[in-house]
Amino acid sequence: MKRRPTPSRPAPRLALAPLAAAVVGGLTALAAQAQSEGLALRPSLRLQENLPAEAQKGASAFVSGQRIEGKTGGVTTIEGEAEVRRHDMVIRADRLTYDENTGEATAQGNVLINRNGDRYSGPSLRLNADTFIGSFEQPQFEILRSGGRGDAARLDFLGEDKASAHQARYSTCPRVPGADWMPDWLVRAKRIDFDNVEQTGAATNGVLEFKGVPILGAPYFTFPLTDERKSGLLPPSINLDSLSGFEYTQPYYLNLAPNYDLTLYPTVMTKRGIDLGGEFRYLRPDYSGRLRGSFMPSDRLRNDDRWGYTFQHNQTLTDAINRLGGGGSTALNLNINRVSDDNYWRDFPRSGATLTQRLLPADAQVSWTQGPWSLVAGAYTWQTLQDIDAPIIPPYDRVPALSLSYQRGDLGWGIPGDTQLLLSGGYTRFESNPLLTGQPNGERALAIAQFSHRWQAPGWFVEPRARLHATQYRYDSALANGQTSASRALPTLSLDSGLVFERDASYFGRAFTQTLEPRAYFTWTPYRDQSLLPNYDSAATDFNFATIYSDNVFTGNDRISDTRALTLGVSSRLLDPRTGAEIVRLGIAQRYLLRDQDVTLPNAAGLPGGDPVTERFSDVLIGARVQWSPRWLFDTNFQYNPTSQESVRTTLSARYMPGPFRTLSAAWRFQRGNSEQLDLGWQWPLSGLFGAAPAAVPGRALGEGQWYSVGRINYSVPDRKIVDLVAGFEYDAGCWIGRIVLERLQRSAASANQRILFQLEFTGFSRIGSNPLQTLRDNVPRYQYLREEITPPSRFERHD
C-alpha cells in the first residue's frame, strides 16, 4: 500500500552496494596505505554526512584484526575481531576473506555492517564485488531515518540497487534484546523486493498483522521506502455516520510527473451510492494550481445526480508582459467553486471547506503593480445555496470590477514628517436578482483622493487627513423617484492624535515598563441624503477597538456615514523591560457624537430603513489581555451600554498551555438578544491529570504508552444543547497510534451529522481507517500532531 506524497516521516531505504564496496575498498587498500607517507587532515567546522563522489574515490580505509594474511592476486584473510572501516561504513565479523581473482568476498560469524547509521547483521555474507550479486543469511536490519527494522531468512543482492528478502518481516517497533522479536505490528511476506532506484518495496503474499492478528492482506502490494511520490494505492478511509451510512474510500495516487499528479477518490456509501472524486495538482516556476471534483450519479438521498468542483490557479505573468515591452509585476488568480444544488453543503460535509459553505465564490482576477501604480481587473460571482429554514439574500456579482490607484509616501515638500497621497478610481457592474434584492442592477464609478501627514516624536503623534469620495451610479431600471442615475460627492476630515507616557514599575515582585497611552480621534463628514441610492456592498462595521477610531461606520462604498464625532480612549501596557514582550494590555474607549447620525442602511427589502442614531454617547469598549507567563493567557472584550446600564456583547477567554501536547482553552461569548455560547477545547495526556506528565521527546510526543484526551465542545446556553462536538482519545504506543473520535456537527437549526472516526497509524508505514486528523486540526485550538516532523537524525548518532 502507498501513502500520500506528504507522509509524516520518511520511510526506510535499504543500502545494498556498500557491502562489496567495503570489502574491496578495505582489503585492496592495504598495500597502498602501507606505502603512504601519511594522512593529511583538513579542518572543517562540521561533520559531513556524506563525502562528495570525487572524495569517495580516493577515500582511505582502515583494516584491523588479530591476524591478517594473503598475497597479491590471491586470497586475503582477516581473522579475529576483523574490521574494515571507511568514512561512511564499518564492517565487522569473526572472519573476512576476499578473492581478488573472482571478486568473491565472504564474511562469517557475527557479521555487522553499519553504513550511514543503518545497521545490518547476520551469521554469514557472500557477495561478488564486481557484480554486487550475493546473499546475506538470516539478516537483521535497522534503518536510522525511519526507525524501521526487520529480518529475513535470506537477503539476496541482485545488483547495486536491488535486493530481495525471503520470508521477511518489517516493522518500526523496537526490538527487545534477548527475546524473540514479536512487535505490535509487522508486515510478513513470502518475499519483499527492495528497489533503490524506484525507492519502493514490493511485498508478495504480504500480510499486515496487528497484535498478532492479520488485518490486511494482498497477493501483491507496494510501499514507499522514502518520502518520494510513488503511484499506487493509498491507505483506505472508512467512515460511519447517520447521513451516508458506511463509507469506504479507496484512493489511488498517480505520480504523472515531478511537477503534477492525480489522486482518485472513489467512495462507496451504503445509504446513497458511489461517489467518484479526484484531485489534480500542478506546479511550475511561474504558476501552480489545483482542481478537485466529484460526481455521484443517482444519489439515493436526493434521487438526483450530484456534483461539485473547486479550482484554484495562481500565475505570475511578469515575464510574459516584460517580453511584450511592459513592466511591473503582473499576476493572474482564479478561484472557482460550484456545486449541483442547494443541499450540497449539508449532504457532503467532507468535501472541504471551499464546498461546504453556502456562498461559493467564482473569481477571476488580474493584478498589476509598478512603483506607486496598481491596477486590478476581475470578475467576481457567487453561487448562493439557499436553506428554506434560513434563507439569505444573495450578494451581488461584480462583472467586471476595475480599480486603479496611485499611492506615494515620499512627497517631501519640505514638511517634516510622513506625507501620504492616495488617488484611486474604479468601475464595477453589479448584477443579482432584483426580486430578491429589492433594488435594480446597475453600474458604479468612483474616485477617491486622500491626503494625510503625520507628525511624530517620542511621546506623541498627530495625523490630520483629508479625503474626497465621489460616486456615480447608473441603473438598469428607474428608482421609485423615476431616476436612472445618481451621483454623490462627500469630503471627510479627520484628526488622529495620541500621547505615550512610560515609567518603571514593579508589581508582584516583577519589574515592568508601564505605558499610559491616551488617544483622541476626531472626524467630520457632512450629511448627504443617500436613502435612494442602492446598496451594493455596504454593511455596518463590527464595533471594536479598530473601528471605533475610523471615519465611517459602514464598509464598502455605497454608504458614507455623516459623522461628527470625537473618540476618546486610553490604554496601558506592561512590558518586559528586557525583551519588550507585552505582558498586560488594558484599554477603554468611547465615541461621542456632536450631532445625530442620519445616514442608515436600507432594510432587507432594499427600501430606506433604520432609525437615525441620536444617542450622543456610544457603547463603552473595555478590553484586557494578560499573559503573565507563557503558560497562561487571558483575553476579554466587553461592550457596555451606559444608557441601559447593561452589557451588549461580552467575550471571556482563557488558555492554559504548560507544555507540548498540553493545552486547555475555554471561552464564553455573549451577545444580547442573539446568542450565548460556551466553548471548551483541549488536548491533554491522561497521565497529566493526576501528576506531572513526562517530558516531550522530539518527534515522539511525550513518549510511548501515553493516552491523550482531545476535543472541543460548543454549547448553546439559551437552547441548553450542544451545538458542535468533537471528542475522542489518542493512544501512542511508540510505533503505532490509535485514534477514536466522535464528531457531531450542526447542519441546520434542526439537524446534525454524527460520525465515529477510528484510525490506526503505523508509524513510518501507513494508516488505515477513517482519518480524524483534519477534523482535530480544524476544531481543537492548538492541536499538535503526535508525530511532528523533526530534523532527520544524523548517522553520527549511531556510531560503531
pLDDT at 41 (0 to 100):
59
DSSP state of 172: S
Chain centroid to CA 671: how far? 31
**Distance between CA atoms of residues 750 and 104, nearest Å:** 77
Q: Does domain 18-35+57-230 have CATH number 1.10.3720.10?
A: no
Q: List the grid coordinates of 231.
A: 503511484
Q: For the residues of 535-554, what is the DSSP string, one character each?
A: -SS--BPP-STTGGGSS-SB
**Distance between CA atoms of residues 519 and 572, nearest Å:** 11
Q: What percent of the chain has pLDDT over 90?
A: 55
pLDDT at 195 (0 to 100):
81
CA distances from 208 to 153, 186, 220 (A): 18, 6, 12
**Distance between CA atoms of residues 498 and 547, nearest Å:** 17
DSSP state of 688: G
pLDDT digits (tens, 9 = 90+) for 393-445: 889 999 999 999 999 887 766 666 688 999 999 999 999 999 888 889 999 99
- Specify whether the CB–CB gap between 123 and 777 falls below 8 A: no
Task: Name the CA dihedral angle for 207, 210, 213, 215, rounded to a multiple of 10 degrees.
Answer: -50
pLDDT at 55 (0 to 100):
60
pLDDT beyond 90 at 152? yes
Average pLDDT rounded to a whole number, residues 91-111: 86
Average pLDDT rounded to a whole number, residues 108-124: 86
pLDDT digits (tens, 9 = 90+) for 744-798: 887 666 667 788 889 999 988 888 888 889 889 989 999 999 987 666 666 666 6
**Distance between CA atoms of residues 418 and 496, nearest Å:** 14
In 703-784, where does DSSP find H-type helix? 773-779
Q: Which residues of 165-189 are buried (b: 16+ CB within 10 A; e: fewer)?
A: beebbbbbbeeeeeeebebbbbbbb
pLDDT beyond 50 at 241? yes
Radius of gyration of the chain (CA): 35
CA distances from 143 to 12, 107, 192, 380 (A): 6, 21, 16, 53
pLDDT at 25 (0 to 100):
45
**Cell 462583472, residue?**
399
**Distance between CA atoms of residues 46 and 26, nearest Å:** 25
**For the purposes of burial, counting CB atoms within 10 Å of the CB of 415, is it exposed (0-12), middle (13-18) or buried (19 or more)?**
exposed
Q: Any idea where the domains of the chain sit in the sequence?
A: 18-35+57-230, 231-325+336-358, 638-800
Ranges 101-105, 468-472, 722-726, most confident: 468-472
pLDDT beyond 80 at 228? no
pLDDT band at 547 (very low <50, low <70, confident <90, very high): very high
pLDDT beyond 80 at 677? yes
pLDDT at 750 (0 to 100):
67
DSSP state of 411: -
pLDDT band at 387 (very low <50, low <70, confident <90, very high): confident
**Distance between CA atoms of residues 502 and 541, nearest Å:** 33
Enter the pTM of the model.
0.79
**Cell 512627497, residue?**
411
- Specify whether the CB–CB gap between 22 and 106 falls below 8 A: no
Rounded to the nearest 5 degrees, what angle is found at the Cα of 667, between the Cα atoms of 663 and 673?
A: 165
Residue type, 792: P
pLDDT beyond 50 at 729? yes
**Distance between CA atoms of residues 633 and 579, nearest Å:** 18
Q: What percent of the chain has pLDDT over 70?
A: 87
Q: List the grid coordinates of 690.
A: 493526576
Average pLDDT rounded to a whole number, residues 8-19: 36
